[in-house]
Amino acid sequence: MTINNLVNKRILLGVTGGIAAYKAADLVRRLQDQGADVRVVMTRAATEFITPLTMQALSGHPTHIDMLDAETESVMGHIELARWSDLILIAPASADFIARFCGGHGDDLLTTICLAAETNIAIAPAMNQAMWSNPQTQMNIAQLERSEVLIMGPAEGIQACGETGQGRLLDVDQIVQRTISIFPSEKLTGKKVVITAGPTRESIDPVRFISNHSSGKQGYALAEAAVEAGADVVVISGPTNLDPVDRARTINTVSADDMYAAVMSEIADCDVFIGVAAVADFKPVMQSEQKLKKTQDSNTMTIELIENPDIIASVAALSKRPFCVGFAAETEHLLGHARLKLQRKKLDLIVANNVADSSIGFNSDNNRITLVWNDGESDLPVMSKRNIAAKIVNHVSKQLDAQKV
């Protein structure tokens, strides 16, 4: 089975004028075969060699050409196109485009996108061998390399003009492989990862509820890290103020019962379950349909509570279960409580953090954790929740690989 090495990757393909432009159609397909979402920008000269309609049909998205196209500017615009992409790949890149790009020009849509880009840029040159060997072209290439633009090729061989030499567009398969190499290893490609995040709310009456201080930031950071690792990610989220994770599917829930039902609906084909949500342990036995009022006879109120379903323990108890990762938010005896929870709930990994430290954990962008598993543990220093998420994903992928041996 072919491994899709570009799953969740967004590639903006720039096509410039030259006979090799026809190969861009094949390149779109090959990139898509690897799981990439591809959108195409063409220069006016490129449209003389291959039609925008062809590229639109192959990519499944409108082909962008003009800098001042009203539809382009209203829907996405050159800045949005630059921000959308994980990689800008220009193939073929003509000598004229390379010169204008090197000179910092912004006189068409493609050069303007490159100027606005904050992501990786790669070019695959294609031109006559004399144009490639021209000292000015070589100076331009050297300058782009110093600017950390990745140069793919060119190849050597017979050219469309009948001459032989260096200047041919690199083979499409080679361009695809070099594109794959730009991105980090896809540690969770082909895996479905379900992540719970945020707090739950347990209603007392139509106005009041029981909840906690979870912001959802660590769960959402883990979802982003899993997406970057190539996974198909589902985020089952309690109420938060966070934007949905790009390229993940989000299911919004409120109560622990809601979250439990959503998890069980997604767990059958799940490979990794990460329970980050701070699920309320208890809920009111009765939820009043009307707002509870204070009385003159008493200054106290008693609310009877009942235990909520234990979501992660329920997942870990399934006969066909995913790799299960839990979180232990503790205020004392951190590692002792974490290891007890690991064993009691039959988890594969638990992430322990001390929520008594107000500078990290709940509502903070940073955290300090200890990874605990059956025969080991690893303490991580204070770092951003995004970096912690990457460390957790890396550890999970290693444990999954170890299970295959």
Rounded CA separation 139/99 (Å): 9
Helix-helix angle 95-102:135-146, to 10 degrees: 50
| H helix and E strand count, the chain | 14, 21
Nearest alpha carbon to residue 222 among 387, 99, 36: 387
Q: Phi-psi region for residue 153, left (φ > 0), alpha (ψ -120 to 50) or beta?
A: left
> SS3 of 42, please?
strand
Tokens 């615009």: give the residue: 77
pLDDT of residue 1: 33
Could you tell me what percentage of the chain is helix, strand and coil, using 3-state DSSP and rounding each to the nearest 5?
35, 25, 40
- Look up the pTM and report it: 0.68
Beta bridge partners of 274: 195, 325
pLDDT of residue 328: 87
31-48 residue pLDDT tens: 999 989 999 999 999 999
pLDDT of residue 7: 79
Residues marked active site are found at 161
Residue 50: CA count within 13 A, CB half-sphere: 25
Cα distances from 128 to residues 101, 159, 168, 223, in angstroms, run 19, 7, 8, 47
Sequence-ordered list of residues with C-beta below 8 angstroms from that of 51, at least 6 positions apart, any chain: none
Residue 2, pLDDT > 50, answer: no
Beta bridge partners of 93: 125
Joined together, the tokens standing for residue 234 give 């589902």
Who has greater pLDDT, 122 or 388?
Answer: 122
- Lowest model confidence (mean pLDDT) among 5-9, 59-63, 72-76, 207-211: 72-76
User: How confident is residue 269, by pLDDT bands cut at 50, 70 and 90?
Assistant: very high
Who has greater pLDDT, 252 or 229?
Answer: 252
80-121 residue pLDDT tens: 788 788 899 999 999 999 999 999 998 899 999 999 887 889
User: How confident is residue 382, by pLDDT bands cut at 50, 70 and 90?
Assistant: confident
151-186 residue pLDDT tens: 998 988 887 777 788 889 999 999 999 998 887 667
Tokens 């954990």: give the residue: 361
pLDDT of residue 123: 97
Kindly list the structural domains of the chain, giving each domain's residue range(s) and its CATH number in brackets, ordered by start: 10-181 (3.40.50.1950), 192-283+303-404 (3.40.50.10300)
Q: Do residues 390 and 383 make contact, with C-beta atoms less than 8 angstroms apart?
A: no
Q: In what order do the strands lie in the sheet with 272-275?
A: 249-252, 232-237, 192-197, 272-275, 323-330, 349-354, 369-373, 376-379
Cα distances from 274 to residues 47, 49, 94, 196, 325, in angstroms, run 48, 50, 48, 7, 5
Helix-helix angle 109-116:77-84, to 10 degrees: 60
pLDDT of residue 82: 83
User: How confident is residue 74, by pLDDT bands cut at 50, 70 and 90?
Assistant: very low
User: How confident is residue 75, by pLDDT bands cut at 50, 70 and 90?
Assistant: very low
Nearest alpha carbon to residue 276 among 403, 376, 393, 191: 393
Torsion of CA 29, 31, 35, 40, to 10 degrees: -80
| Radius of gyration, alpha carbons of the chain | 27
pLDDT of residue 268: 95
> SS3 of 396, please?
helix
Rounded CA separation 164/156 (Å): 7
Pairing of the two strands 272-275 and 323-330? parallel
